[in-house]
Chains A and B, each alone.
Chain A
Amino acid sequence: MTPDRLLDRIRVANPVPVVETGDADLWARIVASPGDPRLLAGEARRPARRRRWLRIGSGLAAAALVVGTAGATVGVLNIGLFSHASPRTLFGADLQGQMGGARWRQNVVAGSVHRAETLTVPGVGKYQLWIANSIQHGDCEAIRLPDGAWAATSDDKYGFSGPVPGCLPWPCKGAMSNCAMGPGLVGGFFYSIGVLFVPRPDEWRIVYGITASRGRAVAVRDLSTGRTTPVFEGHYFAMVLPIKKYVSPTAPHSGYYPFVRLEALDAAGAVIAKAPPDPGM
């Protein structure tokens, strides 16, 4: 028996396979305790382009998250620690809530965490949309990159510029007329845009989120590209949109990107919701 076959024999005999596990309660208990004091002051910020899409936080997007408990700073949380966390751990950490302050905090319903959609970006790979509900009736969303890392938790070679994954309060979900407390619907939509800055010259957007209106939406269409995608699980949608950058022949550095122009369609094809044009960059 050669040494390699010997190791293989031991590997095969492994009595306890590793099971990917996430324990939101454990995580919550740990981060509620004081963190490493040496890290309180020394984290680098994320690149600016990643911050742009933290539209809910008004400049709160940073790689270093100060974890506050009852107003007291107890430690620093590095988003990068979650780049390969299990989906339950990721949502359980409530990264968005920790950035937004106490009123944004959400507790994920562990049993609701699931992969909702897989999106193929030509020439790049497959991106997964994971979603969940929170006990506060909020929504949790995260994009998993082709290499298995979570979008916006670490740098990836395609420069995905999506929002930090996590859960958001959504009071409109329970009462459509009450959107004052959180990131409510705008034009019947609440969505995020992630941009893949490479490979150039073809760039791509991944647009995903929620549509809700008085009618029942069955599809979402982007008027800029003409692409349509079905609505799933009642109100979610996710689509890959090519970006055709417009460049003026006389001013090659003055190019701009087309806006995202979403509208929701009902089963009869009627437009029942229309989001305002979004520059999406």
Chain B
Amino acid sequence: MFAHLGLITAYARRRGARDPDAIAAETMTIAWRRLADVPRDDARPWLIATARNLLLADRRRHAAAQELNGLELAAPEELESPAVALDPALEHALAALSDQDREALLLIAWEDLTPALAAASLDISPGAFRVRLHRARRRLLFELEHGRRFDALDPCEPSMERG
């Protein structure tokens, strides 16, 4: 479990955490306290899901604090686009994706999870994840090639996502 400290720190940093080390440390602390829940074969999905929840909670707290200071910001329900420097075209294309689609792509590309592990991390079925990943790839490809948002959803695409 502790072997993944670097992975979780990197995950938090890629997702724009204000204090990635703190997110990673808190993730490991929670894992220690809930060790019976941490999968023994591969802890990464569990740890990433925990880190994601911590990131979201941190952003909600931050947004609430901004609101108290007179700034009206919506509390995020999903992670925002990466707050790190990328090549402009890719950054634009990733930013154009929905939060869910972007997270699906990045779990595979950056966190190096298999689709099954990424699905576990998002608490959705592997089938639903593959649908989401496929959709995300197509949309990102479109964005990269056309430089604009792919708003026209395919009405025939089945939705297998839970919730």
Contacts and interface: CB of A to CB of B under 8 A. Distances in A.
Q: Do A and B come from one complex?
A: yes
Interface of B is mostly: helix
Interface stretch (A13-21, A109-117, A176-184): A13-21
A34 B10 contact: no
Given A18-B7, A19-B10, A26-B25, A10 B32 contact: no
Contacts, number: 100
Nearest to B108: A7
B141 A1 contact: yes
Contacts of B14: 14-16
A253 B37 CA distance: 46
A84 interface: yes
B109 A21 contact: no
A83 B9 CA distance: 20
A31 B6 contact: no
Interface string A1-45: 101001101110111111111110011001101111011000000
Interface size class of B (residues with CB under 8 A): 35 or more
A272 interface: no
Contacts of B110: 10-11, 14, 16
A82 interface: yes
A140 B6 CA distance: 23
B90 A35 contact: no
A30 B29 contact: yes
Interface in B90-113: 90, 94, 105-106, 108-110
Interface of B: 1-3, 5-7, 9-10, 13-14, 25, 28-29, 32-37, 40, 82, 84-87, 90, 94, 105-106, 108-110, 137-138, 140-141, 144-145
14 contacts: A7-B105, A7-B109, A10-B109, A13-B87, A15-B14, A18-B10, A21-B9, A23-B5, A23-B25, A33-B29, A35-B32, A35-B35, A38-B35, A39-B36
Interface of A: 1, 3, 6-7, 9-11, 13-23, 26-27, 30-31, 33-36, 38-39, 75-76, 78, 80-86, 89, 93
